[in-house]
Structure 1
């Protein structure tokens, strides 16, 4: 029976109550070894009564086997995979080895895990308990934590017990409960139960030395306490276990060693291995009597993980080698190739090319199953067993690449540096430097990434041109993010030396990146044609890679063709969803949201940014969260959410030194907010910084009209036209640019010339509602000042209507203020006129998909939510928009001009 823990048990009981009410919860219980985490999970399972309880556990020796933890937890439910969306079901079948197809994206398994758990919870509330989560293989922990973070309206409780250890186990986004030692009264109860005859001095010493650790109390109470001075609890408890082991017969210790080295509860394998070493099942008896292990029909289990550690670490090295050899031989010949290989590797005492080659095959099988950590571990061990230097370097650099893919940058850097030092072969050295480059993007700066990627590419430009192009693509784009124009120029110069085959798919990519270099150098005339050619190639389907399509979308924005950019990026996002390549989605949503906001589709942009931030946060893409927040600053500014605008900008500008492009976009947003709200001096300062800053050749070229408006409003004629020549040079190659240039020239002109420019700008921006309304507002103000009241009233009313419909609150207020000067008293358009504005971005996204005829299950698969969560959002949305049935949505959404 669990002693004490009143507060902790109360907190867990509240989680159960939430689940019984149909609300989900996730919690991480952290604490030192022996502190009672497992006991607390057992108590929670007992309290779950009528609920379903799933139990999982991380096993230290299985950390190299991808999805072993998820398999243990969910394999009993493989018969339910048909309820999952097709792509999720296929991925889970691969995980459970029911199909030979590779796992397409590890994060898709997280979505499938969420869907499967949600389906199980349809029958009755579900409690999912994961013990020793710090030892889960990375693929399983990623999937389970992804699911836990996206729980919302499901009757599910997920609890992870995590031992605090030297190897951290981060659980961002999930609440944590730290488990401390028992209070004195509860500790006394434990001692009274397990050692009632202790003398007072011994009991007091145990209370002091244990720190309230229950396992320490129980185990230390069983041995004489005559050693002076306090000892660390875990070490002292392990000493106790070692002492118990030393009292066992040698044959029993050998069987325990086999069980510890095996890493699973498979007793048959342990006994077969024991038979080859001359021990029998009878030899387990003393260990069971000493309560060190428990055997049952399910197999053999150590009473506590520290016992397993004490057994394995306390065995002589030669015995461990013999144990792994025996286990490798005992595994069935047609099964468990990976386990066998790992046992052979553990038994190797020196270089062994046969085992190294087997480990390489194990690594590739792990890659097909989506286990990047397992790939890195296998390749690194294979390298250590390699018999030649170049082979060792090749395997280490592959381990480094997989460590980077697994989100382990320090490990990746260490391996990459080692590989580069082992060989002079340019291909291996280039790959090692490239790994370091990609790590540097987050750990140092995008500029550091660009410099290293360029260095890597120059080693293989002639020998491996297509691989060099990939590295130079990284160099150009990272240098763009850093506004490192010198690095852009150097990377473009190297690109010009790359010789691809005549029919190479990536030729348009190289040409477009060279074109971008011309744009960054201030020569849009030489830039636009090759940049647009890549957009056309992607639209025609002749360039199909995800990365290349993201770049094409960005280049469409930079050439002023956001319609083409949105078309490319919508198609990419759809393909990413269809393929289940979840890790690519935030990268696609970023330029897609920018394209939407440039077209005035603010609510669509907000939905995409919200989805991107949530997803990027869930899968640990911290820098992508910052990028998307920068877009949110602009959107918050245009919709008049002042507090959110400033809060987000503060977050983004913390990274300004490393990521000036993001910071400049956020600064544009703050300047726009000031401009809309009539703070023209502040707006001018901010927009001058944006338009004259290092990111001025990017999308931020479109901030020039805002800068001119602020300068004109403050009477700063000396500043007003400063950036117009650059805008004019860019505008000569696209209609949107011509509309913006005409607006600028109107603000700087007088009389009929100004009127002519305003009307030209309005005509050119006819299909861009936001830009049309911005120009209409300025033109209406100009008309009012010239006492052309009727024309002014018509123009301003049209701008007011458009701003209100778009949700551009502050700009609508500006238009109404002008109308009020004309004697009109326009009332703010009622929110009921556009009920969709009442919805959150996610609710709006779900309502639109539902209106298009998608089922909850289809929407859930698209948005990586559970069907129940989709239903919950619809339930909350219906009253906001005044509908009671799903069939009413189509009519409501169909009249929304912003529906995508």
Structure 2
């Protein structure tokens, strides 16, 4: 085992890392530092100490970054051990990603879960260490999967060790160990070990200073200085960036090699696989003899063993850059001819593309086929690279622009928005009018995804108008996007413009197209009002519900839910059953499709519908799941539903902080609908605390905006605030607004709120209206709205000194609010009960079990009958971690089997929510 000079601190950290893994814990660590600082040496030191562990390795290669899952191939092998034991969705996804099977594009989420499961199972035999060097050059698909695994491992005896120049977006947030240069003393020791003669102290100090103690720089730069210069202090290395100095050193060493040796190194540098047989076959085509490798090996620049491996990535870089363009094309041509297009068609296509200097339609078509294969494996970044290169090799302007547009779309889907915009700019010069419209459509969708609602509406509306001449169906989809973007921006003139344009757009000719009918309904609602839109709205809802009943057909769902227009329609119609159903189905579709971004939105929204329906515990679990996905994606959880629930639960400080954040986002991005949500959350707390004037002012602002679908939020709060603050004019305006809708679509939800508003308005026979409100809302299943009516009815009865009747209503309100966790209104109900002479008890903390958040999630899912692998997939854990936590759950609850979970958890919930 070799000794590392000056690395006591780093070695101590790695020792603790290894100790934790051996004790059955999981660890992830990123070694971060500049090139040549010694990260690879530290990785080697750790693996030398891991004789009792299984070690898997991967190295990022710059030229291989666009080849999807190349890093996972290195780490796990072409057919990973344990693949056939994976759950079916994970097996199918990983098999498709590795090219073992063919099929639809694999779910990246299932691929990451598959890697998590494989590593967890491998660690059951002996501790497992995964070493990834040069992570900054790993393909992004592999980096994302491994970063996901690093965040979800807990008790699997798995260690993931990454070395990178800078922490990538994927690795950000993981524990880091910064590897800096050696101290002056240690750096001097390195120089002394390689200098054989006297060294001028000024030269010695200057080299240490300029290299900042970088070990590789010390060794390589010392080779460039002659003994006379070392002694006399004449020529010193030029002031260049450190990486440039090191690479320049390698370049000088390469120039001293024989020409055949240099050509061999250029060839090896152009091949990222490191496959010796491939390199030697290509070398034979170039007339390079085997003895050309001797000098390169003697100079310790490269090794030829099981793999062709350069001493350092900068050696590879220097070798490749040292060649002329013509020389590079020659080696890529040889590699293409040596690569079997049947077994490795993508690398064959890539080498052909790099060997081609001018337009070549045959190569461009082959790259397009590679792009299709890459997308089928979920490799969006690779597909975009293939398409972009195909465009470069395309001479005809039309096909060239088409390929650039395809690359831009794929980059957008891959999340590379800046790169997508760059490609769209290149397409913009094309004379094709349709192409220009599609450029604006893509730009508009990027603007909407990045929160620029006003810009998105403008771009999408313009694109939709131009697309009408070419594709009526695509134009109407774009009109729907434009209308939704304008709604989010809260710009009435743009909402009207989008709606009017959509009304005059050419029909797609399909009366059963949900997108068409939904667009008609929403645009009519904007231009002609609620009543005029009623027939189209009812028909659209039928088609939307039909689309949500087809779990195997995600196409209609994706088109209908890009910006949630279907739930917008359900809320506009005050259709509680449809609202709750669509919300739940969105989660199911997104989870089945593995669309993580859509799943996060769906989970957040469904959490709110569950809360309104009275299921606070499920709402909490859904938000926890959304947070887990955010962590796995290295993102922050969404604010909106957390803000609303914090307001209802009486977490005043937390709610106010999130309201302020939402308002800042609104000002920054012009998304006025977020301001409505923030106003609503504040009004909930103000109404609960008796600050009715403030609640009335906030809700009146929101009411006047007339945000589609937000009536069920705004109107109940505004009516209560206006009644309590004596603003009868606003209360009458609310009543008229509701009356217009009940005449058209008298749903139980709408009738229940209208009856409550009539009672609040002090109309004759208020008690009858309260009873009607209870009756209607009971049919909806919206328990929080039902609880509000019970509370208001009970307060009305108490003020009329009917204490016994009031207690019945107030007890029911208190029970419902407490069950859902709406403490802000449970407190108000408790105060009213005290005023009637009734005594209540606050909700008590759990008296047994003391389960953590994660243990509660696992216990609830186990109670519902999910197996350990199913729970693991739902919570992004390994089955081993699930089993570990279930054992802790059983111990805390004093049970010994899953069959006892229902009773034990029920006791816990009763203790928590007792009155």
* TM-score of the two chains, using structure 2 as the length reference: 0.91
Question: Using the alignment, how far apart are the partners of 1:174 and 1:777 within structure 2?
Answer: 48
Post-superposition shift, 1:10? 3.0
Give 2:838's aligned residue.
Answer: 824
Given the alignment, which residue of 852, 861, 865 partners 2:864?
A: 852
Verify the 8 A CA contact 1:45 1:53 in the aligned structure 2.
Answer: yes
Q: Paired residue for 2:640, among 616, 620, 630?
A: 630
Aligned mate of 1:533, from 516, 535, 539:
539
Match of 1:764 in 2: 776
Q: Kindly tell me: are residues 48 and 638 of structure 1, through their superposed partners in 2, closer, same or farther at Cα, counting changes over 3 Å? A: farther
TM-aligned CA distance change 1:689 to 1:363, over 3 Å: same
**Structure 1, gaps ≥5 residues long:** none
Q: Map 1:374-773 onto structure 2 (within 5 A).
A: 374-426=382-434, 428-443=435-450, 445-500=452-507, 502-503=509-510, 505=512, 507-520=513-526, 523-541=529-547, 544=553, 545-550=556-561, 551-619=565-633, 625=637, 628-657=638-667, 658=669, 659-692=671-704, 694=705, 696-717=707-728, 719-732=730-743, 733=745, 734-749=747-762, 753-766=765-778, 767-773=781-787
Q: Quick one: structure 1 residues 783 and 509, their matched pair in 2 at CA, closer, same or farther if it must change by over 3 Å?
A: same
| 2:898 is the counterpart of 1:886 | yes
| C-alpha distance in structure 2 between counterparts of 1:24 and 1:208, whole Å | 39
Question: In the alignment, which residue of structure 2 is the partner of 1:70?
Answer: 72
Change in Cα spacing, 1:421 to 1:227, as seen in structure 2 (3 Å) is same
- Which position in structure 1 is the counterpart of 2:203? 202
Deviations 1:735-773 (A, max 9, x none): 1122122222212206x5222221211111123322121
| 1:631 and 1:666 in contact (8 A); partners too | no
Which of residues 283, 295, 298 is equivalent to 1:274?
A: 283
In the alignment, which of 358, 361, 372 is matched to residue 350 of structure 1?
358
- Residue 241 of structure 2 corresponds to 232
Residue 38, structure 1, aligned to residue 40, structure 2: yes
The answer to whether the Cα contact below 8 Å between 2:332 and 2:355 also exists between their aligned partners in 1 is yes
Q: Distance in 2 between matches of 1:215 and 1:872?
A: 45
Post-superposition shift, 1:283? 0.7
3-state SS of paired residue (1:70)? helix
- C-alpha contact (below 8 Å) 1:665/1:700 kept by paired residues: no
Deviations 1:142-170 (A, max 9, x none): 222222233344332222222249xx655
Alpha-carbon separation, structure 1, partners of 2:367 and 2:341? 17
Question: What is the distance in 1 between the residues matched to 2:186 and 2:741?
Answer: 75
Name the CA distance, whole Å, in 2 between partners of 1:74 and 1:703. 54
Q: Which position in structure 1 is the counterpart of 2:217?
A: 216
Cα pair 1:549 1:569 within 8 Å, conserved: no
**TM-score normalised to structure 1 length:** 0.92
- 1:400 deviates by 0.6
* Partner in structure 2 of residue 792 of structure 1: 806
Find the residue that maps to 1:854 and give its secondary structure: coil
Summarize the Cα distance change of 1:495–1:519 in structure 2 as closer, same or farther, 3 Å threshold.
closer
- Judged with a 3 Å threshold, the aligned counterparts in structure 2 of structure 1 residues 566 and 331 are, in CA distance, closer, same or farther, namely same
Determine if the alignment matches structure 1 residue 781 to structure 2 residue 782.
no
Tell me whether 1:178 sits opposite 2:188 in the alignment.
no
Contact 2:499 2:527 in 1 (8 A): no
Kept after mapping to 1: 8 A contact 2:487/2:707 = no
Report the Cα distance in structure 1 between the residues aligned to 2:532 and 2:894, rounded to whole angstroms.
53
Partner of 1:295: 304
**1:238-292 superposed Cα distances (whole Å, 9 cap, x missing partner):** 1111111111100100111100011221111111111122211111000000000
Distance 1:700 1:194, change over 3 A: farther
CA distance in 2, matches of 1:671, 1:24: 46
Structure 2 equivalent of residue 263 of structure 1: 272
In the superposition, relative to structure 1, how do residues 852 and 41 fare at CA in structure 2: closer, same or farther (>3 Å)? same
Q: In the TM superposition, what is the alpha-carbon distance from 1:43 to its structure 2 partner?
A: 2.4
Change (3 A) 1:270 1:883: same
Shift of 1:211: 0.5
The one-character-per-residue Cα deviations of 1:18-43 (angstroms, maximum 9, x if unpaired) are 33344333333322111222122222
> Does residue 141 of structure 1 match 2:143?
yes
Superposition deviation, residue 215 in structure 1: 0.9
CA distance in 1, matches of 2:161, 2:70: 18
Q: Which residue pairs with 1:249 in the alignment?
A: 258
Aligned in 2, Cα 1:691/1:180: closer, same or farther, shift over 3 Å? farther
- Give the distance between the partners of 1:484 and 1:824, measured in 2 at CA: 50
Q: Please say if 1:15 is aligned against 2:17.
A: yes
**Aligned-residue offset at 1:497:** 4.2
- Comparing 586-595 with 273-282, which one deviates more in the overlay? 586-595
Counterpart Cα distance in 2 of 1:840 and 1:646: 26
The DSSP-based 3-state class of the residue aligned with 1:640 is: coil
Contact 1:589 1:609 in 2 (8 A): yes
Q: Does the residue aligned with 1:33 lie in a helix, a strand or coil?
A: coil
Q: Deviations over 1:61-96 (max 9, x none)?
A: 111211111111112662301232211111111122
CA apart distance, 1:549? 4.9
Distance 2:623 2:493 in 1: 31
Conserved? CA contact 1:108–1:582, under 8 Å: no
1:415 is displaced (CA, Å) by 0.7
CA contact (8 A) 1:453 1:475 kept: yes
Q: CA deviation at 1:528?
A: 4.2
1:704–1:724 CA contact under 8 A, matched in 2: no
134 and 229 in structure 1: CA distance in 2 versus 1, 3 angstrom threshold: closer
Q: Deviations over 1:687-718 (max 9, x none)?
A: 333333x3633225422222232333344445
Indicate conservation of the 8 Å contact 2:833/2:839, yes or no: yes
SS, match of residue 81 in structure 2: helix
Q: Residues 150-189 of structure 1 correspond to what in structure 2 (within 5 A)?
A: 150-164=152-166, 171-189=171-189
Take 2:851 and 2:692, find their aligned partners in 1: how far apart are those partners?
Answer: 32
Instruction: Output the CA distance in 2 between the equivalents of 1:841 and 1:805.
Output: 18
User: After superposition, what is the alpha-carbon deviation per residue over 1:639-692, rounded to whole angstroms, capped at 9, x for unaligned?
Assistant: 222233223333333211322222321331222123223444443443333333
Classify 1:139/1:829 alpha carbon distance in 2 versus 1 (closer, same or farther; 3 Å): closer
CA contact (8 A) 1:36 1:214 kept: yes
Following the alignment from structure 2 to structure 1, what is the Cα–Cα distance between the partners of residues 30 and 538? 50
Distance 1:489 1:169 in 2: 40
Do 1:75 and 1:96's aligned partners in 2 also have CA atoms closer than 8 Å? no
Does the 8 Å contact 1:91/1:109 carry over to 2?
yes
Matched with 1:86 is 88
5+ residue gaps in structure 2?
none
Q: Would you say the 8 A contact 1:376–1:403 is kept in 2?
A: yes
**Secondary structure of 1:254's partner?**
helix
Q: Which deviates more from structure 2 when the two are superposed, residues 484-493 or residues 786-795? A: 484-493
The secondary structure found in structure 2 opposite 1:55 is strand
C-alpha contact (below 8 Å) 2:405/2:439 kept by paired residues: yes
Using the alignment, how far apart are the partners of 2:6 and 2:742 within structure 1? Answer: 73
Would you say the 8 A contact 1:107–1:583 is kept in 2? Answer: no
Matched, 1:370 2:382: no
Where 1:393 maps in the other structure, the secondary structure is helix
Q: Which moved more, 1:407-416 or 1:145-154?
A: 145-154
- In the alignment, the residues of structure 2 paired with residue 136 and residue 83 of structure 1 have an alpha-carbon distance, to the nearest angstrom, of 27
How far did 1:586 drift? 1.8
- Range 375-384 or range 180-189, more displaced: 180-189
Q: CA deviation at 1:858?
A: 1.2
